[in-house]
Homo-oligomer: A and B are copies of this chain.
């Protein structure tokens, strides 16, 4: 989602082996009162300190050990497997988080000799079903960065929301942002919150849908509707609709229930404007008052205005007379 990265915060480094570029991402804090949803009370800070002082050293040792043995976690492969295990990799990451724990646990016990710390870390990972989301977001970023700057391409390479505005970038249009007001998500609210508590759409997790998973892969994750509302049929319909606005079907990420069809991948801003269909995102909604954290989760449509601006700029640049 959103949140602040301070200089002392540890990050994962994700490497795009094919193109040599890297991306970076913080560790997932879990759900509820967390910094990335705007909470900053003493318990949030205490938890961040635990992540820095305990979780990070254990994971760092394990990952370095795995890398040295040529057994570094293959995030792209884990995403592909998780899509066959009911994750869509945005609001449901239970399988991906399990696969990451399975892969890294042997290296953890081989590098950390403090069994109390190990147990703390394993318990945190066990209860944090969204832990893998951050790794998957960084994998999406590393893939999409390599798709930027392609002359003549109308594919979106970034979508993001900051709680006020929504913005996107297009591969063939350089670093220019196309922006408009962010949507107000109508999510399934956690107990104790009302519609009026909801802030406008926020976060750079929209990289998942830009990458072709998340809301675009909802058909892979029928169980998610217990968390975000709707029916399993709605989930299939969202994915089918996204094929209308994408440039291709993913060769690596497939959806078993759609007879292993590749996920709809690569949002074409021209198709968005032609069809009037805007991308669907799985989202978590933050409280509009600072300090209160997440209020719910659900589906949100990206606003059309930014796509129209991008398509107009694309026409000016490439389709001029």
A223 to chain B, nearest CB (A): 4
Q: Which residues of B contact A275 (CB under 8 A)?
A: none
Per the bound structure, the CA–CA distance linking A259 and B126 in Å amounts to 27
Pick the interface stretch among A101-109, A163-171, A172-180. Answer: A101-109
Per the bound structure, the CA–CA distance linking A85 and B103 in Å amounts to 18
A315 within 8 A of B: no
Q: Which residues of B contact A259 (CB under 8 A)?
A: 231-233
Contact of A86 among B86, B105, B231 (CB under 8 A): B86
A57 within 8 A of B: no
**A125–B102 contact, CB under 8 A?**
yes
> Closest residue to A117 on the B side, CB-wise?
B109
**B85–A94 contact, CB under 8 A?**
yes
Residues of A229-278 whose CB lies within 8 A of B: 231-233, 256-260
A3 to chain B, nearest CB (A): 25
Which of A84, A116, A126 has the largest number of chain B CB atoms within 10 A?
A84
A229 to chain B, nearest CB (A): 13
The chain A residues found within 8 Å of chain B, CB to CB, are: 84-86, 94-95, 98-99, 101-103, 105-107, 109-110, 113, 115-116, 118-119, 122-123, 125-126, 222-223, 225-226, 231-233, 256-260
Please list 6 pairs of residues, one from A and one from B, whose beta carbons are closer than 8 Å in the complex, sorted by A's number.
Answer: A85-B95, A86-B86, A98-B98, A102-B126, A105-B122, A232-B259
9 new A-B contacts, CB < 8 A, other than A85-B85, A226-B260, are A84-B86, A85-B94, A102-B125, A106-B119, A109-B109, A110-B119, A223-B256, A232-B257, A232-B258
